[in-house]
């Protein structure tokens, strides 16, 4: 099987998906046609790095909204876990439950990880920016949380200025 990074192509259609969302309904990528989509994959609710990233997206939520962009967070956690995470931090955007990690695999965010010599499969913190027609336009892999949300916002601002 080819590596996902080779399958995903900039300026080509993003892999479509349908996942259960924190508002109790299923959502599909195509539901957001006409808006930019910030699709970010994170390992686990209520962990330090993931909480910081989610709160950074929360802090910039209005700025993204003003640029016609929606934020969708994706992790393998359950909807129940997402609900607690959203409530605890008052997150204003949808979190999607990818319990079977099929969407993470489609985007190449489900990878072999190593920690203390132990290998396991898990989410690589990644963000994908999808344009208003559903095409993948920017990929951030192996994301470092500090400054990442601002970089994604700046990217969309630059698109809007051109």
Question: What are the distances in angstroms from CA 95 to CA 39, 41, 106, 114, 126?
Answer: 10, 10, 18, 26, 15
Radius of gyration of the chain (CA): 15
Instruction: Return the percent helix, strand and coil in the chain, to nearest 5.
Output: 35, 30, 35
Number of folded domains that form the chain: 1
Q: Annotated active-site positions, please?
A: 50
**Predicted confidence pLDDT, tens digits, the chain (162 residues):** 334 445 789 999 999 999 999 999 999 999 999 999 999 999 999 999 999 999 999 999 999 999 999 999 999 999 999 999 999 999 999 999 999 999 999 999 999 999 899 999 999 999 999 999 999 999 999 999 999 999 999 999 999 887
Instruction: Name which of 1, 6, 10 is nearest 129 in CA terms.
Output: 10
Here the CATH number for the domain that contains residue 131 is: 3.40.30.10
User: 74: domain range?
Assistant: 4-161
Tell me the two tokens of residue 81.
């876990």
Q: Do 68 and 36 contact (CB within 8 A), yes or no?
A: yes
């Amino acid at each position: 099987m080819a590596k996902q990074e080779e399958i995903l192509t900039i300026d080509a259609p993003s892999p479509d998906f349908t996942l259960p969302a924190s508002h109790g309904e299923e959502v599909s990528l195509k539901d957001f046609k006409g808006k930019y989509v910030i699709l970010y994959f994170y390992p686990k609710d209520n962990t330090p790095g993931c909480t910081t990233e989610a709160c950074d997206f929360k802090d910039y939520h209005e700025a993204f909204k003003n640029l016609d962009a929606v934020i969708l967070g994706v992790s393998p956690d359950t909807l129940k876990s997402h609900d607690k995470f959203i409530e605890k931090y008052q997150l204003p955007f949808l979190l999607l439950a990818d319990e079977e990690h099929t969407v993470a695999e489609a985007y190449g965010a489900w990878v072999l990880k190593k920690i203390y010599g132990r290998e396991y499969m898990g989410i690589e913190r990644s963000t994908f920016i999808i344009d208003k027609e559903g095409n993948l336009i920017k990929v951030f892999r192996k994301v470092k949380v500090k400054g990442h949300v601002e970089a994604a916002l700046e990217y969309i601002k630059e698109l809007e200025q051109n």
